[in-house]
Amino acid sequence: MSPFVFFFNSNFIPLKKINNKNMKASVAKALFNSYSYSEYKKVVSDLLEVGKSTGMRQSEELTHYTLLNETRLRRLDKTIKISEENVSKLHALKKQYIWLVIAEGWCADGAQSLPVFDKMALETDGKIDLKIVLRDDNDDVMNDFLTNGARAIPKLIVIDKATGNVVGDWGPRPAGAVELIQNYKKEHGVVDETAKADLQMWYFHDKGLSTQNEIMELMQGLDS
C-alpha cells in the first residue's frame, strides 16, 4: 500500500498522522456514541415526531430537509441494488472492518449514501460493521476528518477491526456529484435550491453506483 491513505474528494493525510494518539481517542469516543443504521433511523424519526431535526441548530428549514430525507431513506432502502460485480468483490474481502459514518438527519448527501453503505455492509456477512454518529455530537472526530477545511458530511471512516487503526476514508460525495456542484457554482456563483435539485436528480439517475464503485475501489486497495 502507498504511504498515503486512499481518499475520494478529500485531503490526503499521511498514515503516520492518521493514527496518532488524539485521533485514535476521537474515533474510539465516536464509536462509543455510535448507532446502528436502524438505530440512527429511529433517532431521526423520533425527533421528527416532536418537530425537530438532529444537530445543534434547529429550524423549520432543517426539519423540512430531515423529513424529505426520511422519505428518501425509505425509498432507497427498497430500491438500491449493489451490482453483481461489487457483491463478488465484497464477498472476497479478507479482513474485517468498521465503517464509521459521520452524518446528520438533515444532510441530503447522507440520505443518498447511507442506504448504499448499509446494503454493501450487509453483503459481507459480518466483515463490515456499519456504525453512524451525529456530526454535531462528535466534534473531535469530525475535526479529524475535515474536507478541505470544512465539516462536510457524510464522511465514511474505515477502521481495521483487528488493529483499531483508521486505514482510509471517503466522502462527502462521489466524484460526479462533486463535479456537478463545482461546475454550477463556477457558473452561477452560489449553490442555490436549483443546484440542490440538480444534485438530487443526479443521484436519482446514478442509483448509488458511483458511491459503491468508489468505495469498492477504496476497500480493495486497503484489503490487498
Please state the pTM of the whole predicted model: 0.90
- With residue 152 as reference, give the H or E element that holds it: none
Look up residue 168 and give its three cell numbers.
Answer: 482510509
Tens-place pLDDT, residues 23-43? 889 999 999 999 999 999 999
Domains and CATH numbers, the chain: 15-223 (3.40.30.10)
Q: What is the mean pLDDT of residues 93-104?
A: 97
The string of DSSP codes covering 156-195 is EEEEETTT--EEEEE-SS-HHHHHHHHHHHHHHSS--HHH
**What pairing do the DSSP bridges indicate for beta strands 155-160 and 97-103?**
antiparallel
Q: Please report the pLDDT score of residue 21 as a whole number.
A: 78
Instruction: Express each pLDDT in 164-194 by its tens digit.
Output: 999 999 999 999 999 999 999 999 999 999 9
pLDDT per position as a tens digit, 147-167:
999 999 999 999 999 999 999
Give the amino acid at 195.
A
Euclidean distance between CA atoms 53 and 38, whole angstroms: 17
pLDDT digits over 59-72, tens only?
999 999 999 999 99
